[in-house]
Amino acid sequence: MTRTDIPAVFVHTGPSQTIVTACVAQARAAGCKRIIVISDRIGPWRLIPGVEYFSISNAEDYGAREFRSLFVNYSSYPDGYARVIIERYFALRALFAKHSLKRILHLDSDLLLFTPVQELEALYDCDFSGSDSMMDNHESVSPHFMFLTSQACERICTDILTTYGSPEGRERLARLWEHKKAQNPEWGVSDMDFIAFLRDSGDFKYARVNQGNPRVDISIQFAEGFITEKGLKRITFENGKPYGVLEATHERIFFHALHLQGYFKHLIIHYAQLNRWYKKLLYVLWALEGRGWLKWPLATPPN
């Protein structure tokens, strides 16, 4: 590993740290040379060799404090969740600045990676990447697997503050929420909309990753034309790599990453291609967390 390697970056806060540990361990097993976890506490992932910690408190002086003063929840999501999924971009902004990074691979903390960053970076020559689908007519872009340059991150943060900070911007978000509610009452304004704004501006090069072969899974619960089983894409593994089959053509598709969000987070340890004893340990830690018997202390060491 060198300081010039493009890092895989996970952003995860809160008391539950075992699931993100499984994702970090999978990224390491896939061959990622440099991994950074942005968090408000140090979990068991810190024991994985070479994993770096970056305190989310660094975001305060890079726009997070200003954003919280402007934030309005244009969604049915809980206020804390609706805010933090947008606020994380200021943590990424701080990471770019403090580590002098030019490009990163941002990964959601419920995503399992099976191809190392050093192979992926050549496949996705872009300023930012994302996943969009027909579910909402490609109107939003999921950043769960997102190559991101420092310039694109800076633009996203600027757009967020400008939009929430002006009457015209807040009106735009209010109209967008009404539009989303008409399609699905559970939808709302999120970071996915700001990524879509950037895509639609045409100012930065965008790469859609949930198409072609291989590809990135947008969500294991979305069929996307794949053969399914019990409401999920049917996934088989060969040499530690996940595959799905398109129902219409029977084409076998390799997934660089699987996204197990929401209720299906409980399958992350199951799908992770890790040593079985390591997985047993993760199940024990997860159970102890769930019962409130294991708590990871808040920690914000300087970076």
* Domain assignment of residue 162, yes or no: yes
pLDDT confidence tier of residue 21, bands split at 50, 70 and 90: very high
- Rounded Cα–Cα distance for residues 277 and 13 (Å): 26
* Domain assignment of residue 32, yes or no: yes
Q: Is this structure's pTM higher than 0.85?
A: yes
Q: Which amino acid is at 266?
A: H
Question: Would you state the pLDDT for residue 300?
Answer: 58
Q: Is the pLDDT score of 265 beyond 60? A: yes
Q: How many residues does the chain have?
A: 303
* Domain assignment of residue 222, yes or no: no
* Domain assignment of residue 227, yes or no: no
Cis previous bond, 301, omega within 30: no
* Domain assignment of residue 210, yes or no: yes
Q: Which amino acid is at 162?
A: T
Chain centroid, CA 186 distance in Å: 20
Q: Is the pLDDT score of 165 beyond 70? A: yes
Question: In terms of C-beta density within 10 A (0-12 exposed, 13-18 middle, 19 or more buried), how is residue 275 classed?
Answer: exposed
Averaged pLDDT score across all residues of the chain: 94
Share of the chain above pLDDT 70, in %: 97
Taking the CB of residue 216, how many other CB atoms lie within 10 A of it? 26
Question: Would you state the pLDDT for residue 233?
Answer: 97
* Domain assignment of residue 236, yes or no: no
Highest average pLDDT, of 1-5, 155-159, 177-181, comes from: 155-159
- Rounded Cα–Cα distance for residues 270 and 268 (Å): 5
Q: Is the pLDDT score of 1 beyond 50? A: no
DSSP state of 165: T
* Domain assignment of residue 181, yes or no: yes
Taking the CB of residue 260, how many other CB atoms lie within 10 A of it? 26
Looking at residues 240-249, what average pLDDT do you find? 98
Looking at residues 283-289, what average pLDDT do you find? 96
* pLDDT per position as a tens digit, 100-133: 999 999 999 999 999 999 999 999 999 999 999 7
CA distances from 8 to 28, 86, 121, 292 (A): 10, 19, 11, 30
Specify the CATH number for the domain of residue 92. 3.90.550
* Domain assignment of residue 252, yes or no: no
Structural domain harbouring 139:
8-214+262-290
Looking at residues 94-105, what average pLDDT do you find? 98
* pLDDT per position as a tens digit, 130-157: 999 777 777 899 999 999 999 999 999 9
Total structural domains within the chain: 1
Query: Which backbone phi and psi does 89 adopt, to 5 degrees?
Result: -70, -25
- Helices within the chain (DSSP H only): 18-29, 64-70, 79-99, 117-123, 150-164, 167-183, 191-201, 268-271, 276-290
